[in-house]
Amino acid sequence: MPESLEIGDRLLVVYDGRCGLCNGWVRWLLRHDRRDRLRFAASVSPAVTQLIERHADLLEPNGAPDTVLVFRNPLQTNEQLWIRFAGELVSLRELPQPWPIVAMVLGWIPSSLSDPVYRLVARWRYRIWGRLESCPLPTDGERSHFLQGPDAAGHNLDGASGSQ
């Protein structure tokens, strides 16, 4: 695992890859990320092991995060982390219009209301949207948006390689 994840100034969205709701949200973000502002990694991906260990207090007993984790500058001294509803909003702000405006309006909802609702949905997500047997593989067109980590030989396979 590299000491920093090379994703440029993009946000990194770490999600529960076995959650049907979480996968649906990631697919929705992928369709709307026309400005290439987001990168994704399932919480079980080797690419984010060090990052997940650093924030182990946000994990459920099964090892999955109990929330979406959205990072700017992951594993760097100026790392920023947004969780729960705030993580969803910061992701929306990176998308083209009208989504930043939608995020601004939704941002008026106080966290004293949005966080309990988020936790309730998170608690019931497997029962309502299902638990996948495994993380779905990205298509060839989506692969560059996902951090893949090192392969068995230790070569970095991050989707951020190339121009930033």
* Rg, C-alpha atoms of the chain: 15
Residue 49 has pLDDT above 80, yes or no: yes
pLDDT of residue 149: 62
Residue spans of the domains in the chain: they are 11-138
Query: Which range has the worst mean pLDDT, 20-24, 101-105, 148-152?
Result: 148-152
Enumerate residues 6+ apart whose C-beta is below 8 A from 4: 74, 75, 76
Helix axes 99-106, 84-93, angle to 10 degrees: 150
Distance from C-alpha of 66 to C-alpha of 119, rounded to nearest angstrom: 8
Task: Give the highest mean pLDDT range of 5-9, 41-45, 64-68, 132-136.
Answer: 41-45
Q: At what angle do helices 84-93 and 111-129 cross, to 10 degrees?
A: 90
